[in-house]
C-alpha cells in the first residue's frame, strides 16, 4: 500500500507527449510530486515548466516512487519499458498504471509480469483527446483487480472526469478499442452524411440542427462536428489540426481488427473504417485530425 497521502504522492510519469504532458501537469496541480521522463528534451522542458521534476532515465524517475504512470506509443515499447526499467526498479509497493492504448494480450502479459514481481498494476487507457488531457477531463477505462482499481482511482481522478472499472487486467484496453471502433465508424458515417447533405442542396447548419436532435445524433456530430463553423468548436475549425490524429485512429482500428480476428468476431464496419483511414493516412494525412477524413469524401 502506498505510504503517502493520496493528495501528496511521489509519482513517476513516463511518456510526456501530446497526452502525457498535460496529464502529468494535472497530477502536479493535484498536489503530487511528479518525477517525469521522456526521450524528448522539449517535452522534459515543458514538464519542468509545469512543475515536474525531470530525470534522464526511467530507472531514475521510478526510484522511490509510490506510483508509476506511463503514456507510451505502443505495446512493444510498454513491454520493453516495464520489463527493463520499471519492474524490479520501482519499489514493489508502487502501483503501476499504464495509460497507453495497446493490444489486450500485451497488457495482460505486462500485468502478469508485474504481479509475479509483487506489484499491483492496472491498464487505464483514456478517451477525450489532447484538450481533455490538458483540461483534466479524460475518461479512464480501467482493467485490474478490485484492490488495484481502488488504489488507482484517486490518482486517475486527478486527470479525468470519469474513472470506470471495466474488469480484470486487459479489460481497459478491450473497452478502449471497442469504443474507438465505434468512433472511427461513426465519424466516417457523419462525414458522409454532411457531404451528401451538401450535394443535395441542404444548408449544413440546418442539417446539423435537425440531425443533432434526431435519430442521426452521435458524439461525432454534436461534440466533434467535422464541418467548420457548425456545432461546438472542434478541430474542423482549426484546419483539422490538434485533437486526435488520423494515424492514431488508424492504430486503434488496427488493434480492434486484430482483436476481433483473435476471438473470431466479425467487424465489417470496423474493418472498412480501418481501410478508409489507412488510405487517408497513406495520402499524407496521418497528422491531420481524424475528422479531416471528410476532405476525402
Tell me how crowded residue 186 is: count the other CB atoms within 10 A of its CB. 17
∠ at Cα 289 (100, 266), nearest 5°?
A: 65
- The cell for 149 is 482499481
Helices 171-199 and 104-116: crossing angle, nearest 10°? 160
Whether 199 is catalytic is no
> 62 by DSSP, 3-state: which?
helix
Tell me how crowded residue 67 is: count the other CB atoms within 10 A of its CB. 24
Residue 253 DSSP code: H
* Catalytic-labelled residue, pool 76, 176, 213, 251: 176
Please give the C-alpha separations between residue 28 and each of 151, 153, 157, 187, 272, in angstroms, as whole numbers: 18, 16, 13, 34, 41
Q: Which residues, 6 or more positions from 199, have their beta carbon under 8 angstroms from its beta carbon?
A: none
Specify the pairing of strand 53-54 against strand 33-37: parallel
Q: Which of 1, 2, 7, 69 shows the shortest CA–CA distance to 35?
A: 69
Q: What gap in Å lies between CA 50 and CA 251, rounded to an integer?
A: 29
Task: Please check whether residue 87 is in contact with residue 114, taking contact to mean a CB–CB distance below 8 angstroms.
Answer: yes
Q: Which residues, 6 or more positions from 74, have their beta carbon under 8 angstroms from its beta carbon?
A: 100, 102, 251
- The cell for 123 is 491498464
Q: What gap in Å lies between CA 194 and CA 264, rounded to an integer?
A: 34
Q: Give catalytic residue positions.
A: 176
Amino acid at each position: 500500500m502506498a505510504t503517502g497521502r493520496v493528495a501528496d504522492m511521489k509519482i513517476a510519469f513516463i511518456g510526456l507527449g501530446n497526452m502525457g504532458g498535460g496529464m502529468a501537469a494535472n497530477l502536479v496541480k493535484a498536489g503530487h510530486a511528479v518525477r517525469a521522463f521522456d526521450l524528448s528534451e522539449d517535452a522534459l522542458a515543458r514538464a519542468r515548466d509545469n512543475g515536474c521534476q525531470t530525470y534522464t532515465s526511467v530507472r531514475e524517475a521510478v526510484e522511490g516512487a509510490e506510483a508509476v504512470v506511463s503514456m507510451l506509443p505502443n505495446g512493444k515499447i510498454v513491454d520493453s519499458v516495464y520489463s527493463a526499467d520499471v519492474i524490479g526498479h520501482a519499489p514493489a509497493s508502487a502501483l503501476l498504471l499504464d495509460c497507453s492504448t495497446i493490444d489486450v494480450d500485451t497488457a495482460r502479459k505486462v500485468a502478469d509480469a508485474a504481479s509475479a514481481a509483487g506489484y499491483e498494476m492496472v491498464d487505464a487507457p483514456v478517451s477525450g483527446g489532447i484538450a481533455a488531457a490538458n483540461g483534466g477531463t479524460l475518461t479512464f477505462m480501467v482493467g485490474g483487480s478490485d484492490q488495484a482499481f481502488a488504489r488507482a482511482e484517486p490518482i486517475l481522478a486527478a486527470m479525468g472526469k470519469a474513472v470506470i472499472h471495466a474488469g480484470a487486467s486487459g479489460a481497459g484496453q478491450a473497452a478502449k478499442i471497442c469504443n474507438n471502433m465505434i468512433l472511427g465508424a461513426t465519424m466516417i458515417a457523419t462525414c458522409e452524411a454532411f457531404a451528401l447533405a451538401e450535394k443535395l442542396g441542404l444548408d449544413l447548419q440546418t442539417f446539423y440542427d435537425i440531425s443533432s436532435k434526431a435519430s442521426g445524433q452521435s458524439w461525432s456530430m454534436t461534440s466533434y462536428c467535422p464541418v467548420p463553423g457548425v456545432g461546438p468548436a472542434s478541430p474542423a475549425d482549426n484546419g483539422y489540426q490538434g485533437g486526435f490524429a488520423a494515424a492514431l485512429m488508424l492504430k486503434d482500428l488496427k488493434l480492434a481488427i486484430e482483436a476481433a480476428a483473435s476471438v473470431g468476431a466479425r467487424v465489417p464496419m470496423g474493418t472498412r473504417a480501418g481501410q478508409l483511414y489507412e488510405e487517408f493516412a497513406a495520402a499524407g494525412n496521418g497528422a491531420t485530425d481524424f475528422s479531416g477524413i471528410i476532405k476525402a469524401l
